[in-house]
Amino acid sequence: MTSATEAPPRDELVRRASELVPLLRQHAGWQEENRRLHDETVEALADAGLFRMRVPRRYGGYESDTRTLHEVMVELGRGDGSVAWTASVWAIPGWMVGMFPDEVQDEVYATPDVRICGTLSPSASGTPKPGGGMLLNGSWSFISGALHSHWQEVIAMAPAPDGVNQWPVMALVPLSDLEIVDDWYTAGLQGSGSITTVARDVFVPQERIVPMPAVLQGQSASALNRDLPMYRNPLLGVANASSAGTVIGLARAAREFFLERLDRKITYTDYATQREAPVTHLQLAEATMKIDEAEFHAQRITDLVDTKGVSGEPWTLEERARTRADIGAVCQLGRAAVDLLGMASGGSSILRQAPMQRVVRDMYAVNLHALMVPSTNLELYGRVLCGLEPNSPYI
């Protein structure tokens, strides 16, 4: 454990992220072709201190609030959606490390700029061992950033305390204990390297296992984290606040790329430049308004998370459901903006060297994430507003 760190202010971290945009765009093609982040990208994120934002100060972290994290991810998303997506994924399991006992955190955070990947899917089984701990067997797909991670947060089904039923538990496993399956061949977010990992009789000691229901409620097993604002929130609120930046960054990138090409001719028309056409004015204004609306929903999530974290006030069920609806709205609006700008960019925008086509595909991929699908999230919110019980534990 190190001495407490003085955290850089929000505008400084956002500035550092913004300065990385040219590098991220430079490597975007390579990252897509090789289906993973470039080593120089990961090193640049580390050098900028961005892996420390959701780490307790006693370990040299910044304990940044989610508004800061969001604004940083927006800048990374402007550079490359795969980078922002992977960085936001690292931030969420990185926060989840704080749900484990302090001695486990001592072990994990002993690695400088440690990166933890993970998932919420309980696609493995845990068999208890005499004396404590369990053997893990199973696999987890869509593990963004695994190729550059040190640990993975995994979910498995294991015997519940009643000895009869099964319940989900969360465990921390060194990546070196898992097998890597190179199966990330996709249409979007290709650079995220979201491969599959496999456990075959992997032993996990008891201290690195916590019940998933407690994690979902934001109940930490850490004595030192319980009063930190960063940890006084439910998991899904934190995850939603951490995920919106990628979407808005992609939408802003699409707008930038569109504006860079306004002086091109509109083929088969009398317009010498696209800038002169009234339809362009309508398309650009509508897309910009949708991006602004998406930012409203993103800020509503981060403001709620950060305010509740400081006050320690409990979350209502409606507030929990609303953050799911908000992230769904961010995705819906972000995709609509990118669709507008992409379709208005002309046939040459589908060439591989044109960045717009990558933004369109990355936005499509984000909208398919199970916790971000707009229709699923709106349905969940509507159920709660109608006085019904939620039909998902992920709330």
Strands of the chain (E only): list them. Answer: 116-118, 124-128, 134-143, 151-159, 166-174, 179-181, 195-204, 209-211
CATH architecture entry for 116-210: Beta Barrel (2.40)
Tens of each residue's pLDDT in the chain, 395 residues: 565 668 999 999 999 999 999 999 999 999 999 999 999 999 999 999 999 999 999 999 999 999 999 999 999 999 999 999 999 999 999 999 999 999 999 999 999 999 999 999 999 999 999 999 999 999 999 999 999 999 999 999 999 988 889 999 999 999 999 999 999 999 999 999 999 999 999 999 999 999 999 888 888 899 999 889 999 999 999 999 999 999 999 999 999 999 999 999 999 999 999 999 999 999 999 999 999 999 999 999 999 999 999 999 999 999 999 999 999 999 999 999 999 999 999 999 999 999 999 999 999 999 999 999 999 999 999 999 999 999 999 99
Q: What are phi and psi of 173, to 5 degrees?
A: -135, 135
Contact criterion met (CB below 8 Å) for 81 and 363: yes
- Compute the distance between CA of residue 389 and CA of residue 395 in angstroms, rounded to an integer: 11
- Compute the distance between CA of residue 370 and CA of residue 86 in angstroms, rounded to an integer: 16
Question: In the structure encoding, which two tokens stand for residue 299, read together?
Answer: 């800020």
Furthest-apart CA pair in the chain: how many Å? 80
Q: Tell me which CATH code domain 10-108 carries.
A: 1.10.540.10
On whether the pTM is more than 0.75, the answer is yes
pLDDT of 2 reads 60
Where do the structural domains in the chain lie, given as residue ranges?
A: 10-108, 116-210, 232-385
Report CA 264 to chain centroid distance, whole Å: 36
CATH architecture entry for 232-385: Up-down Bundle (1.20)
- Compute the distance between CA of residue 252 and CA of residue 300 in angstroms, rounded to an integer: 19
pLDDT of 4 reads 65
Nearest C-alpha neighbor of 133 from the set 212, 33, 201, 226: 201
Residues ≥6 apart with Cβ < 8 Å to 292: none
Angle at 225 between CA 127 and CA 73, to 5 degrees: 90
